[in-house]
Chain A
């Protein structure tokens, strides 16, 4: 029932859109009927454009996420376990974090040229911060008794991280990486639209400029689906792996 109600409006809008396009019979350079969009989507899927371009985008996004999120993870453990480091780095973090990743696009073009390297480094910059901030918060929220236990057991630094800190903060790190994954896709597509001749964002830009509204709308839809699918898979994994413990973190 809920789903039926949710579908009423989108379906009605689609039908209205289709009918309006057919009745008016406009040949537009910027608008296409839903049926035309569906055909364009089907064609682009079949001739490999969409799968190929999606692979390019995901490759850049996920490589950047691995680098940026990985560094964020390590940095957050350092800040979390050694409070003086956190206090000393605070000002630098507050100053660097608000720099929008897109402002660094020209810097990346200048130093790395077009291609994967610049896109990956921009994604890495953007995904570093959320993992650092959420991870740091997760570690400072660890039950103090757990850290006492590690002291009593005389665990080494590495043992403390792998046996106490990471297991205790895993659900929160998972949430941090889920958010960072969304960021990585957004930044990758944005960089492609703004400058980089690569991936699905570039294809979208080309479709818009070469007056192919059917393909353009199909690609926007597809980008939304990819983002939605990635988030859905990770959300499912999170529920499966951590149950209510993982979900409690979402509310915060």
Chain B
């Protein structure tokens, strides 16, 4: 496909999205569903504009994004470190890895009441839950990536007499890069979800709390504005990590 036809298809698919938004507007205007339940895109948009120009929505977005990033960075660092230790040692793999597999199917949100029993309804609780939840994808991906080094590369490291640490640093971790980045991308999605739920439960300042408040007060335009911002956060963070992945892994494609 040439670039022009591809651009045409892209324009077409954006036009379809515009049509969908237009039909949302028409449904909101003419279907008789009261705007308390279904605001049109015009109302949602004006709620977005007033929210951001007043600074309130920007501040809520900042709080949620900050929470998500902090928890995710903590989880990623811990996940890579622990995963590297477990993945690079056969003994640790045999003894510890099966236990990780047992814990894995527990939905991460189920840890929230447990952490809540210890830390109460606090911001720390939310941060800890985000870190616990988003560590799994990174940890398991690192274990897998570090332990699946090509045998010949292992032999190279042996004949070069690299120590365990150097083998890990120069061979196993670069080998695991793709896995780790993919795990981190999933981890960030989990972090956003947990940040939103955590804010809903604790009434900590943030988008999760504010959209729940908006729903309770029947401020549906603010509610939809908040949901749109959360969607944009999900989209942008995913795109950002995808381009980071492409940039970091550019040496692999050759």
Q: Are B106 and A223 in contact (CB under 8 A)?
A: yes
Q: Are B95 and A5 in contact (CB under 8 A)?
A: yes
- A5-B94, A216-B114, A223-B110 known; A90 and B13 CB under 8 Å? yes
- A103-B230, A105-B200, A106-B212 known; A87 and B12 CB under 8 Å? yes
Interface stretch (choices A39-47, A133-141, A145-153, A190-198) = A190-198
Q: Are A103 and B227 in contact (CB under 8 A)?
A: yes
A219 CB to nearest B CB, Å? 8
CB<8 Å pairs between A and B, sample of 30: A6-B98, A6-B99, A9-B95, A30-B117, A31-B118, A88-B9, A89-B16, A98-B235, A99-B227, A100-B231, A102-B197, A103-B231, A106-B200, A106-B214, A106-B227, A107-B227, A109-B215, A190-B109, A190-B193, A190-B197, A193-B110, A194-B109, A195-B200, A204-B113, A207-B113, A208-B116, A209-B116, A220-B114, A227-B105, A231-B105
B208 CB to nearest A CB, Å? 8
* A residues with CB within 8 A of B: 2, 5-10, 29-31, 87-92, 94-96, 98-107, 109-111, 182, 185-186, 189-190, 193-195, 201, 204-205, 207-209, 211, 213, 216-217, 219-220, 223-224, 227-228, 231
Interfacial residues of chain B within 187-218, with CB under 8 A of chain A in the complex:
189, 192-193, 196-197, 200-201, 207-208, 211-212, 214-216, 218
Given the complex of chains A and B, what is the CA–CA distance between A101 and B197 in angstroms? Answer: 11
Given the complex of chains A and B, what is the CA–CA distance between A166 and B231 in angstroms? Answer: 33
Given the complex of chains A and B, what is the CA–CA distance between A88 and B102 in angstroms? Answer: 42
Q: Are A100 and B223 in contact (CB under 8 A)?
A: no
Give A3's nearest chain B residue, CB to CB: B98
Main secondary structure, interface of A, reads: helix
* B residues with CB within 8 A of A: 9-10, 12-14, 16-17, 20, 37-38, 94-96, 98-99, 102-103, 105-114, 116-118, 189, 192-193, 196-197, 200-201, 207-208, 211-212, 214-216, 218, 220, 223-224, 226-227, 230-231, 234-235, 238
Q: Are A205 and B211 in contact (CB under 8 A)?
A: no
B109 CB to nearest A CB, Å? 4
B181 CB to nearest A CB, Å? 17
Q: Which residues from B are CB-within-8-Å of A193? A: 109-110, 112-113, 197, 201
B60 CB to nearest A CB, Å? 13
- For B99, give its contact among A10, A223, A224 (CB under 8 Å): A10
Q: Which residues from B are CB-within-8-Å of A224? A: 102-103, 105-106, 110
- A100-B192, A105-B200 known; A92 and B16 CB under 8 Å? yes
Given the complex of chains A and B, what is the CA–CA distance between A2 and B98 in angstroms? Answer: 10
Q: Which residues from B are CB-within-8-Å of A231? A: 105
Q: Which residues from A are CB-within-8-Å of B200? A: 102, 105-106, 194-195
Q: Which residues from B are CB-within-8-Å of A88? A: 9, 12-13, 16
Main secondary structure, interface of B, reads: helix
Give A111's nearest chain B residue, CB to CB: B37
Q: Are A102 and B95 in contact (CB under 8 A)?
A: no
A249 CB to nearest B CB, Å? 17
Q: Are A100 and B105 in contact (CB under 8 A)?
A: no
- For B109, give its contact among A5, A29, A186, A207 (CB under 8 Å): A186
Given the complex of chains A and B, what is the CA–CA distance between A10 and B106 in angstroms? Answer: 16
Q: Which among B13, B14, B16, B212 has the highest number of chain A CB atoms within 10 Å? A: B13
Given the complex of chains A and B, what is the CA–CA distance between A209 and B192 in angstroms? Answer: 24
Given the complex of chains A and B, what is the CA–CA distance between A87 and B95 in angstroms? Answer: 48
B197 CB to nearest A CB, Å? 5
- A5-B94, A30-B118, A216-B114 known; A92 and B17 CB under 8 Å? yes
Q: Which residues from B are CB-within-8-Å of A87? A: 9, 12-13
- For B114, give its contact among A9, A101, A208 (CB under 8 Å): A208
